[in-house]
Amino acid sequence: MNTERRNWKALGFSLMLLLLLALCGTVQAATEISSIAVTVKAPSIGQAPTFTASAGGTGYAVYEYTSDSFPAAMTYKNGVYWWDKTDDIDNSFEKYEAGHVYFVRILVKTTSNDYTFSSDCTATINGKD
């Protein structure tokens, strides 16, 4: 292959690479989320647990996932998992009882690849840590 032909191929490859870079645009780092806030209806004696939660910020949302085995011993409904620590049972209880201690887990995800959770991200549920 002669030198002139190699030069044209190299020039063509360089132009193609520049075109691809122009089409792709500039890649920016994802915006870090340093704190999240979610709300869920608080336990009320005699009432059934609620499995609806909402996120109160930009770049994240409640991951409305329902499963009987994620993780193995936890049942999430719409991304919400309630636990009656007093009776040591999960979502299967029918209503909140006086004198019982309950906790809730809520799954949260980023809304797009433009966001990521920081390594020291903090969270509140109903305004409490």
Q: Render pLDDT for 71-104 as a digit per residue (tens, 0 to 9).
A: 555 778 899 989 999 998 887 778 999 999 998 9
CA–CA distances in Å: residue 90 to residues 35, 69, 81, 85, 87 = 27, 12, 7, 8, 9
From the list 53, 42, 43, the residue with the least C-alpha distance to 107 is: 53
Q: Render pLDDT for 30-70 as a digit per residue (tens, 0 to 9).
A: 899 999 999 999 999 999 999 999 998 999 999 988 876 55
- pTM exceeds 0.75, yes or no: no
